[in-house]
Amino acid sequence: MQNMLKKFREKLPICSCIAVIVSYLLIFHLSAIPVMMVLHQDFAVQLASMLIADVFVLAVFFAMGFGDVLAQKSRGILYSIGTGGYMIMVGAVAAVSNLAMYGLTEDYKFQALAPAGDILLFILAMLGIGFTEELVFRGIVTSILKDKFSVHTDKGIFLVIVLQGALFGACHMTNILSGIGLESALVQSIMASFLGMLLGAVYLRTNSLWFVMLLHAWNDFGALLAAGLYGDNTITGSIDGYTWRNLAGIPAYLVVVLILLRSSKRREIKDGRLYPAPFGIRIAKGIVLTLFCAGFLVLAAVSFFLTAHQDLLNI
């Protein structure tokens, strides 16, 4: 079985990528049917279905010979944080905006939190989504594509990034099966395609699957924080609220991908080694970016708070 899977992905790489994705989605969605008969909490169903799908995904992951991907040496935690800084900031802004919008009631009292067990299930579900989807798309799919299109060339790097991102986005169309409208599903798929490209670029730069798993989980955590902390919404309800206006941030994602894959950084990917800037310059950049991010978060919090409580503007 192991040899057969290896031969399949070597001879038909694109077909093997699609086969893995379709199999994963079938197991995830079909397992949700009996799970919902037992569990009635949205995040509990999500987590249980993910865990069932993980059995299949992990089996395929190791059978295809990608086990060493989980053990590969990263390029350092500070380098990883710097590389994934945009996504860390996006997740932070989403979390801050959710807290500012929903943290206080209309009469300025703290919003009642969901039961502690539900909040724990929310956190575990977000970690589960990050682990499973990254294992499939950056662990298996990207590894297959890297073997097909060598990342030792510029063309290979961009082909891998675009293809794995497109496949990541396309798989989100299956959310229609959960009752999500066509427009919202299309918007989410387009957003997910560019998010997948960004995660792929971070992965190629950092060489750490674990780091992009955490980045993915953090992104989902920030986006769904109101649903997780206050029970304000469900995963399906949150996604079903997407409109074409949600695509406004796509150009920023594309710009960040191109910055992450600029010529000097593609050289690092191709050579498999770092060419760091002088230590002083790195420290200065870190300080400036930290101050900028802190200021931006404060402005975002104030902006979203005033949006939620517009009566304050009339005083």
Structure tokens at 35: 């799970």
Residue 159 lies in a domain: yes
**What is the DSSP code (8-state) at residue 11?**
H
Count the alpha carbons within 13 Å of 264 in the hemisphere toward its beta carbon: 5
Residue 186 lies in a domain: yes
Q: Which domain holds residue 149?
A: 75-314
Residue 56 lies in a domain: no
Q: What residue has token string 């987590």?
A: 47
Torsion angles phi and psi, residue 104, rounded to 5: -120, 145
Q: What is the pLDDT of residue 262?
A: 94
Q: Are 128 and 146 in contact (CB under 8 A)?
A: no
Residue 61 lies in a domain: no
Q: Give the dihedral sign, CA 112/114/117/120.
A: negative
Residue 164 lies in a domain: yes
The domain tally of the chain equals 1
For residue 67, what is the enclosing H or E element?
Answer: none
Render each residue's pLDDT in the chain as its tens digit; 315 residues.
667 777 777 788 888 999 999 999 999 989 999 999 998 888 999 999 999 999 999 999 998 888 888 888 888 888 899 899 999 999 999 999 988 888 888 777 888 888 999 999 999 999 999 999 999 999 999 999 998 888 999 999 999 999 999 999 999 888 887 778 888 889 989 999 999 999 999 999 999 999 999 999 999 999 889 888 888 766 777 777 788 888 888 999 999 999 999 999 999 999 888 888 888 888 888 888 889 889 989 998 888 888 888 777 765
Amino acid at 266: R
**What is the DSSP code (8-state) at residue 136?**
I
Amino acid at 196: G
Residue 68 lies in a domain: no
Residue 236 lies in a domain: yes
Residue 171 lies in a domain: yes
Q: What is the pLDDT of residue 312?
A: 74
**What is the DSSP code (8-state) at residue 110?**
B
* CA 288 vs CA 282, 283, 296: distances in Å: 10, 9, 12
Region for 41 from its dihedrals, namely left if φ exceeds 0, alpha if ψ lies in -120 to 50, beta otherwise: beta
The SS3 assignment for 164 reads: helix
List of E strands, the chain: none
